[in-house]
Every structure is written in C-alpha cells, then in structure tokens.
Chain A
C-alpha cells in the first residue's frame, strides 16, 4: 500500500492535478486558495504562474487547454466574479486538453469581504461541479474532474471551502497518469463565439446537461450510507463531515457531484425515508432542488445560512437526529474578554502613510490588502471598500457626485482635495490600472496613493508584475508604476518614504490641493520581508514622556501602555521610527543599549 501523507486540501488538489497530467496552472493569490499554485509550482516539469488577476488566470488556462494540455486555474470565490466573463463562455467553446477551475469559497469570511456561495456559478453556466469533503477526496476528485472535462467537452468547477482547503488529512496517492497533449486543430465554429456560432453551441450545452445528469446518477463518488431510523441527510462538501459526526448512525446521501444534480438518485434513495434533511453551508442550493423533487426537506429553517457550519450548530439544528452524540457540556465560556482583531505589524510601512492620510480632511476610498486593517480605530483611515481595485473607481464616482451635489462645474476645482484612493501594489496590478485610466480619461482630479510594499503581503508574500521575480523566483521584468501612471496621462507622480512622516504629509497636502489628478507612491518593502532594515528598537525616555498618548494613535503593537507608563517592547519593535516622529516631546529615541 502506498504511504499515506498528511496534506492540506490545497496540497492534495495540486498533487491530484499533477497526477492527472496537468502541466499548466495559473492563479492570482487569494485566501483560502493561494497554496494550490504554490504547491503545484514545486512539482517536476510543470508550468505555473501568478497572473495579475483571476480573469487573466482563467483566460490563460483556457488558452492552454486549447493548446492541447490539461490546465487549471485557481481562485477564491470573489475571484470568480472577476473571471465571470470568460467563465460563462468557456463552456460554449469546450476543451481540447481538460480544463478545471478550482474555486475556494470562504464561509465565515475568515479572510474575505463576503461569503457568496459559488455553487450557483456552476449551475448558471451549465458546468459540472465536484465538491470534495476532505483532502483525500480533493486528490481523488480532481483526477475525476479532468476525465469529466474531456468526456463532456467542458470546463469543470471544482468547488472547495476554507475547511477543505486549510484542513490537513491523510492522502493516499495513486499511480500517476499521463496526459498526451492534443495536437492543435483549428475549429472556429466551435471556438469563435460570434452570435451565429454561439447559437449553435448553446443547444449543445443544454443536451450535454442531460447526459451529465445521467452520469451524476451513476457517479461512484455519490455515496449512500445506510443507517438506522426513518430519516436521511442529504449533504455535500465539508458539511458531510459535520453531519456524519453530529448524527451517528443516521442514513446519509453524500453527494460529490452537485451540478447537474442527480435527481433520480436523490429521489430513489430519499423515498425510502419518512423525513429528508439537508445539511449544507451557506445557501439552500441542494435544498431547493430536493424540495423541487417533492421531498419536503428540512434544512435552512434550522441550519444557519450565514457563517460556517460545525458539529455543534449542525447538532443543535436537528437534535432529533443527534441522539447518538448528545452534547456533554464544555469548559468555561468566559464573557467580556477584549477582542483581538488583526492589526498592522510593528513597523508596517502602511502605518506612516495611513496615519498621515487620516489627518487630512479627506474621504478615503480604500481597497483590499493588509492596509484595510487601518480602518480600525485609532487610525480609522478608510471610508469605503468593496472589492479589489474599487478604491480608484469609487473615489472617481465620489468626486463627481460631490461636484454634482454642490452644483459646481468641474472647472471650478471644488472637490479635488477631498477624495483620496488608497490601494496596494498587487491590487493596483490586479484591477487598479483600469481605474487609473478612468480617472485620467474622465478628468478626475483626486489623489491616488499606491502603497508599494513590493509583495502581495496579506496572502503570504506572493510575487506580482512589480516585484521583478516570477512564482518560481526567477528574474523577470518589473512593471514601473511611475511610468505606467505617466503613460496613462497623469502628470503628477511622486514617490515618498512612508517612514518619513514629514515627507508624507507634505506630499499629500500638495497633491490633494492640486487641481489635477495625482499619484503618490508610498514605497517601502513589507517589514516582514525587508532584509535591509537595521532593526534597532526605539525606547521611551521616562523623564521626557508626559503620557500624552499621542504615539498610541498610530496603533503599533510594539507600543504598550501599562498603567500610566508608555513602553516599547524591544522584541517587537522594528525600529521604523514612526512613533518617534509622532512624539512632540522627543521622548522616543533609538535605543542606545543595543548599539
């Protein structure tokens, strides 16, 4: 027997895809999907890349599949919104080598701005969907996904969730398969979706749906677990694990292929029972279909529709099924503890510039990255944020609205000093460039601050087109943000050091008062990656400090107030000097004992 290895779901997907003969993979990093590409890229003889965004990643994967190899694109749930355009037409043009989109939903929003249920994307696009329930299934089912893709001539959705992606489980790998690249053949009627061609293709998709449903009825990974009693639970994905544990001995229909749904299988299995239950995370996706079969399921009236499921809330939803595993009490639940939200690291380069920004009377349209954490008090440096890249475009709309509302024409320069958009370097490359074009083209006059920390920090320091290295750490071109901004028609572009508060403040004030669009690049490497820093900690000189608390407003985790005394934790301080610049009494100095 092959050795079993402990793997996360993400690692298992990467290995399974590799063993299915996948040789091309593209992704933009996003929790909880990031490690799929990171582990795939380490495998022998594959091509793997970070794309600037998810739309690009999916399109590149479609191209690779047309080029004849088995290919994969991976993204988090909201990434598929960005990639929705190719997503809906990809099934029209079919595949040459197999093509799978690995989607990672984030119920509970551990690291996301919403908890949309992407299963509806598979249904809306008429794309077959597989949902693994643990690492072993992630490995097994991704291999099935490629067979299905080629068999039914369509892209396949492989839908994971945080607790599948980031749980480890034992995986037994099988003999690796091989995929021989399919020779390229021109087929424009199938692959060029002008209306006349697309009208021919859409009926093919509809017919295919019926075939795929037949297949889903027979698919061996749809598991019928016969138990005792007159109830049955229909479930899929990680929810299966909670149901299995919460309801020992109860019959379960565990679905691995959930689009198209195997209606015949569901009806035939469930009709043997008096009561059907559906246990699923987020939306009543399965429940709606089970109900449409006339099976009168119980589900979302008791199972939470928001947040994650777990054994406890599944058990509480249907206590009548949990008789074999009642709750036995637990350790103390302690009320009233201080919350511990995430916080910018000590010495984070975002701190200085966000502090400077927060002191302007500006509407700050923010974006997605570590810097979003500056929304929390005391920095409170974000007014709005919705999705990747929206800082610039929302800022543009806000500025125009303020002009409309005030009745002033854009020539009068009314509001140019009131709006600032803030986004990181990776986010800028992802979807900020088109926003900057919008601002320049449509005569916006606000200021865009690009926080260039030379990495994609939030997801774990991935490279991007501005870092000069690829996913494999090989040298490549570096996109020059200054030149890019200038080429879009923005004349006022400057670079500041976020560790220099005076420079930041002066630059912001000047640019915000200018009656023209401007870009301020706040450039310094993420402190967790910066190898050039001296890292000599600062200290508070007790005699000089009058405990005014000004320095505490920058919310550095190295600065603590114990009783009346303000102290710097030498182990945590990175010596960025921002607190010393904030202090009006020169009570914070570089520590001498260290040097």
Chain B
C-alpha cells in the first residue's frame, strides 16, 4: 500500500548550521542504495538564525515530502532547544541523535524568557533512546568543527541499511575537497559512537 513502507528522518537546527547540507548527504546515500527518496528543506528568511528543519523520507515509493507527526524513526538535531521542539515528529520510542549545543534565540538574548537549562535532561526523559554528544568538539578533533552534522550522520548510519563504503562514496562526491578528510573522519567517529 502507498506510504506504508516509507521511513523518515527529521533534521532540525538553527538557520546557518548546515542542516540542508546534512539532509542532502543522507538523501544521496539513500538514493545510492536504491531507495525512492524525497526531502524537504527551508530556504529564505528562516535561514537567518531561525528554527529550521529538513526532512528525508525513503522507501519504495514516497508520496509526501513532509514527515507526518510521529513518523520519524530518528531526529537529528544540532541544537538542544530545537531538539526539544521537534520531538513530536518522532515515532513513540524513536531515537534522538543530538548535539550538546546551545544557541540562544532572540527572546532569550533579550532576557524575555529563559533558555530551558535542563534541556538535555528533558530530552533524555522524553525520548529515552537518545544519544547527545558534543558534535562540534568531536568534529574539531577530526579537523573541522563545522563537520558536526557529519558526526551526527555517522551516529545515525548504523540504523540504516546503507553500508559504510556507500556512505563514504557519497561524502567523497558531495563534500568539497578542502573539508573532505575532516568529514570522512567525522563520519567514522560518529559511526563508532553509533555502535558500529
């Protein structure tokens, strides 16, 4: 039946953090493995530091490019508040792969509201199957802090049927030369954390 076999991953973060690029890597890896894939992404105003979200869906024949609530098997998030905000996309019991990064939104900068200080704790309570790491720190050790998203993709990767060499081939193809080695390392470091 239509849609039945469709699987979904949601990637959330703050405009400018590179979620579109990460979603594109993931989508291409899934295409290389033979899936039908659809993604959706946010351009324009929200990219100026607003909440952004990218979605990747794959299966035999994908209909909607948007993930229905409760259908993402994983939420990849580059910021703690955005992780909390998007938990509802997860299937009950779904996996959170998050970065321990805090970016204060405007109302917090102004002091109008407080940043939820217990964000990480709340995430692990609400989504027990979660792994939250210092993605930027790990990426920096691999040579480029901006490869934080690739660390998170690495953690996700053992959950998907795409083998390591196909992932690396897609990274080779899509990541600019300058950042390639750091991204390869970042991916592998993440993949190890992810349990493979």
Question: Which A positions have Cβ atoms within 8 angstroms of B?
Answer: 4, 6, 31-32, 34-35, 110-111, 134, 163, 166-170, 238, 241-242, 244-245, 248-249, 310-312, 315, 324-325, 327-334, 337-345, 370, 373, 376-378, 458-460, 549, 552, 555-557, 559-561
- A352–chain B nearest beta-carbon distance, Å: 17
In the complex with contacts A339-B107, A376-B106, A460-B43, A167-B49 CB distance below 8 A = no
Of A34, A244, A334, the residue contacting B3 (CB under 8 A) is A244
Of B3, B90, B111, B122, the residue contacting A549 (CB under 8 A) is B111
Cβ contacts under 8 Å, A34 to chain B:
43
In the complex with contacts A169-B37, A327-B70, A340-B82, A334-B43 CB distance below 8 A = no
Of A4, A31, A163, A339, the residue contacting B45 (CB under 8 A) is A31
Q: Would B107 and A338 count as touching, CB distance under 8 A?
A: yes
Between A and B, 10 residue pairs with Cβ closer than 8 Å are: A4-B31, A327-B68, A327-B70, A330-B88, A331-B91, A340-B81, A342-B49, A343-B49, A555-B106, A559-B109
Closest to A32 in B: B43
Chain B 25-64: CB-based contact to A (< 8 A → 1; otherwise 0) = 0011001000011111111111111110000000000111
Of A167, A331, A343, A557, the residue contacting B40 (CB under 8 A) is A167
Q: Would B41 and A166 count as touching, CB distance under 8 A?
A: yes
- Taken together as a complex, chains A and B put the C-alpha atoms of A517 and B2 apart, in Å, by 63
Q: Would A337 and B44 count as touching, CB distance under 8 A?
A: no
Q: Is B65 interfacial (CB-CB < 8 Å)?
A: yes
Q: Would A552 and B110 count as touching, CB distance under 8 A?
A: yes
Q: Is B159 interfacial (CB-CB < 8 Å)?
A: no
- Taken together as a complex, chains A and B put the C-alpha atoms of A507 and B143 apart, in Å, by 46
- Taken together as a complex, chains A and B put the C-alpha atoms of A327 and B81 apart, in Å, by 26
Of B1, B38, B47, B113, the residue contacting A167 (CB under 8 A) is B38
Q: Would A342 and B46 count as touching, CB distance under 8 A?
A: yes
Q: Would B64 and A242 count as touching, CB distance under 8 A?
A: yes
Q: Would A166 and B42 count as touching, CB distance under 8 A?
A: yes
Q: Would A557 and B104 count as touching, CB distance under 8 A?
A: yes
Cβ contacts under 8 Å, A330 to chain B:
69-71, 88-92
Q: Is B169 interfacial (CB-CB < 8 Å)?
A: no
- Taken together as a complex, chains A and B put the C-alpha atoms of A166 and B55 apart, in Å, by 11
In the complex with contacts A6-B27, A342-B45, A345-B48, A168-B39 CB distance below 8 A = yes
- Taken together as a complex, chains A and B put the C-alpha atoms of A147 and B176 apart, in Å, by 39
- A28–chain B nearest beta-carbon distance, Å: 14
Of B27, B46, B65, B90, the residue contacting A163 (CB under 8 A) is B65
- A552–chain B nearest beta-carbon distance, Å: 7
Closest to B69 in A: A330
- B154–chain A nearest beta-carbon distance, Å: 21
- Taken together as a complex, chains A and B put the C-alpha atoms of A249 and B177 apart, in Å, by 47
Of B39, B42, B89, B106, the residue contacting A343 (CB under 8 A) is B106
- B18–chain A nearest beta-carbon distance, Å: 14
- B75–chain A nearest beta-carbon distance, Å: 8
- Taken together as a complex, chains A and B put the C-alpha atoms of A378 and B68 apart, in Å, by 35
In the complex with contacts A110-B42, A110-B46, A311-B66, A557-B107 CB distance below 8 A = no
In the complex with contacts A331-B126, A340-B82, A552-B110, A6-B31 CB distance below 8 A = yes
Q: Which 3 pairs show the lowest CB-CB distances between chains A and B?
A: A330-B70, A111-B44, A31-B44
Q: Would A6 and B44 count as touching, CB distance under 8 A?
A: no
Cβ contacts under 8 Å, A244 to chain B:
2-3, 63-64
**Chain B residue total in the interface (Cβ 8 A):** 65
Of B64, B81, B87, the residue contacting A333 (CB under 8 A) is B87
In the complex with contacts A241-B63, A310-B64, A338-B108, A166-B85 CB distance below 8 A = no
Q: Would B84 and A337 count as touching, CB distance under 8 A?
A: yes
Q: Would A245 and B2 count as touching, CB distance under 8 A?
A: yes
Q: Would B1 and A329 count as touching, CB distance under 8 A?
A: no
Cβ contacts under 8 Å, B1 to chain A:
248-249, 324
- Taken together as a complex, chains A and B put the C-alpha atoms of A35 and B43 apart, in Å, by 10
Cβ contacts under 8 Å, A333 to chain B:
87-88
Cβ contacts under 8 Å, B111 to chain A:
549, 552, 561
Of A111, A248, A340, A344, the residue contacting B51 (CB under 8 A) is A340
Cβ contacts under 8 Å, A249 to chain B:
1
Cβ contacts under 8 Å, B68 to chain A:
245, 310-312, 315, 327
- B151–chain A nearest beta-carbon distance, Å: 17
- B152–chain A nearest beta-carbon distance, Å: 18
Closest to B49 in A: A343
- A595–chain B nearest beta-carbon distance, Å: 21
- Taken together as a complex, chains A and B put the C-alpha atoms of A364 and B91 apart, in Å, by 47
Q: Would A552 and B109 count as touching, CB distance under 8 A?
A: yes
Of A310, A339, A344, A373, the residue contacting B66 (CB under 8 A) is A310
Cβ contacts under 8 Å, A343 to chain B:
48-50, 105-106
- A60–chain B nearest beta-carbon distance, Å: 24
Q: Would B3 and A248 count as touching, CB distance under 8 A?
A: yes
Most buried by B among A169, A325, A338, A460: A338
Cβ contacts under 8 Å, A552 to chain B:
109-111
Cβ contacts under 8 Å, A35 to chain B:
43
Q: Would A342 and B37 count as touching, CB distance under 8 A?
A: no
In the complex with contacts A6-B31, A327-B70, A330-B88, A238-B65 CB distance below 8 A = yes
- Taken together as a complex, chains A and B put the C-alpha atoms of A331 and B70 apart, in Å, by 6
Cβ contacts under 8 Å, B46 to chain A:
110-111, 342
- A160–chain B nearest beta-carbon distance, Å: 13
9 A-B pairs besides A245-B6, A334-B122 with CB distance below 8 A are A34-B43, A169-B65, A241-B63, A245-B63, A330-B69, A330-B90, A334-B126, A340-B85, A342-B45
Cβ contacts under 8 Å, B81 to chain A:
337-338, 340
Q: Would A338 and B105 count as touching, CB distance under 8 A?
A: yes
